[in-house]
Amino acid sequence: RWFTHFYVVCVLWNGFLLIELFRAEFLGGLLPSWVELVHRALGRDSDSEDTGNERFSALLVLLLLWLHSCRRLAECLWTSVFSSGFIHVVQYCFGLTYYIALGSTVLCQVPTNIRNRRELSAQIRWYHLVGVVIYVWASLHQHRCLVILANLRKSKSGKVISLSHSIPSGDWFERLSCPHYFAELLIYVSLAVVLGFHNVTWWCVVMYVLFCQALAAVLSHEFYQKTFSSYPKHRKAFIPFV
């Protein structure tokens, strides 16, 4: 339930960055001065020409990140049923920092100036469409899986009747113990696709998400196996067939 705080921060911060980049892309504004300072610290020429649709790709990624954080915030508030567990203060502080750094990382991938401004239709590429399709597909399945988990603790009328753990079934749960974690990974991969596959910085973010979600999934998988003797043996922890 403490993740709710993370998504509040993510919605507000990414919303601010999205507005700034939208102004720079379509209204002729300039990005915040601190973006240029970060570019200089990283050794990037902030006056370089945007030759790879970087601004539009970053704008689309920020929009998808913001929509993702809005959905996750709504699910934390009105869908999920959390137990009485606590989060370590170090993890809590790291989580807040992570979600602030996430959007900032995207914004710092683009030039602060642009010389040859192009129409929107001229900036759209095939990988933008592929990335959005993967994003929507993974987001739908993640939401379905979270609804399944929440319904295990609710009556048919929607009232919470238990905080205990049960064996989930349906959708991707038929093959995975933690399909919502796998969907999270797919969402980050889809954003790497939107950025054109070649953004090394974002692939580092994807690798972090992979290891973080894999660890949580394996621990949950082992918990299910130890707690329920009838737990399906064919289910994998995190990635189908792996």
Tell me: the pLDDT tens digits for 33-68? 777 777 677 666 555 555 557 888 999 999 999 999
Q: What are the C-alpha distances in Å from 91 to residues 81, 86, 111? A: 21, 11, 33
- Indicate whether 24 pLDDT > 70: yes
pLDDT score, position 50: 56
pLDDT score, position 86: 86
Bridge partners of 160, per DSSP, are 154
pLDDT score, position 118: 64
C-beta atoms surrounding 176 within 10 Å: 24
Both tokens of residue 14? 């990414």
User: Is the model more confident about 37 or about 11?
Assistant: 11
Bridge partners of 176, per DSSP, are 236
pTM (predicted TM-score)? 0.93
Report the distance separating Cα 196 and Cα 122, nearest Å. Answer: 15
The pLDDT confidence band at residue 139, using thresholds 50, 70 and 90, is very high
pLDDT score, position 42: 63
- Indicate whether 112 pLDDT > 70: no
pLDDT score, position 36: 74
The pLDDT confidence band at residue 32, using thresholds 50, 70 and 90, is confident
Both tokens of residue 230? 């009838």
Helix (H, G, I), strand (E, B) or coil at 160: strand
DSSP type of residue 187: H
Both tokens of residue 125? 């590429």
Largest CA distance in the chain: 64
pLDDT score, position 114: 57
Classify burial at 157, counting beta carbons within 10 Å of its beta carbon; exposed 0-12, middle 13-18, buried 19 or more.
Answer: exposed
Interval 186-199 mean pLDDT:
95
Distance of CA 195 to the CA centre of its chain: 14
pLDDT score, position 121: 66
